[in-house]
Amino acid sequence: MKFTSVFDIIGPVMIGPSSSHTAGAARIGRVARDLFGRQPKQVKIHLYGSFAETYRGHGTDVAIIGGLLNYDTYDERIKTAFEDAAAAEMEFEFIPEEAHKEHPNTARIVMSDDDGEMSVEGISIGGGKIEVSEVNGFKLRLTGGMPAILVVHNDRTGCIANVANCLAMHNVNIGHMEVSRIERGHTALMVIEVDQNIEDRVLDQISYIPHITKVSKINN
């Protein structure tokens, strides 16, 4: 039985040697790709704490690249991720950082192509599980226990209510929601965890709501 979630582990099946440094790293890469919406052409991976110190020996590097190639945690192709990335013309660079983060297993992945750039920061919290802690400078906490959508929007009155109403029209129940903004009146980010996977037609409707600039989803 196989699940395609970027978060959930199928029993003990995962690429080793470490669930935190390898399986968790693969999940961070894969969810970053999901949020970007496609495979990036250029990637810079900033590693912090234990990730920065042991990423080569524990396979953190190949795991993150495997995730960016859409490989799941148990996919044997993770072992050849560097070669596969070269074949796919995806350039990447690892940057060990001396600065410390709150969690020692932290990676910030900066992805880009001709259509844009996105930064995703994730932490591996053990057992192959991860949390996304930042997207494009917006602080958040996305645990991955439920399907989720991320909505970038202008910080205007009514945006949050309009998105919630759209979901209600499609009988989508909100389990958890938080809103982050860097500066009042400028760009803001909604993180909405829901009870079921979101169909693309619902995301299309949300994208047409005034002041909405980008919509991404993570299915379970």
Other CB atoms within a 10 A radius of the CB of residue 126 amount to 13
Map tokens 């600039």 to a residue. 213
pTM over 0.85: no
CATH number at residue 193: 3.30.70.260
For the stretch 157-196, pLDDT in tens is 999 999 999 999 999 999 989 898 878 888 999 999 999 8
Q: Tell me, yes or no, whether 24 and 119 share the same domain.
A: yes
Task: Give me the pLDDT at residue 218, please.
Answer: 82
pLDDT digits (tens, 9 = 90+) for 109-165: 999 999 999 999 999 888 778 889 999 988 888 876 688 999 999 999 999 999 999
Same domain flag for 81 and 162: no
User: Beta strand 212-218 with 129-135: parallel, antiparallel or unpaired?
Assistant: unpaired
Q: Is the pLDDT of residue 6 over 50?
A: no
127 beta partners: none
- Please give the structure tokens belonging to residue 50: 């234990």
**Last-in-domain residue among 142, 168, 191:** 142
Q: How many domains does the chain have?
A: 2
CA 205 vs CA 166, 193, 196, 198, 219: distances in Å: 8, 18, 17, 12, 17
- The answer to whether the CB of 90 falls within 8 A of the CB of 102 is no
Q: Is the domain of 99 the same as that of 178?
A: no
Domain limits at 180? Answer: 148-218
Higher pLDDT, 98 or 113: 113
Before 17, cis peptide (omega within 30)? Answer: yes
Answer yes or no: do 74 and 160 share one domain. Answer: no
Same domain (yes/no): 33, 130: yes
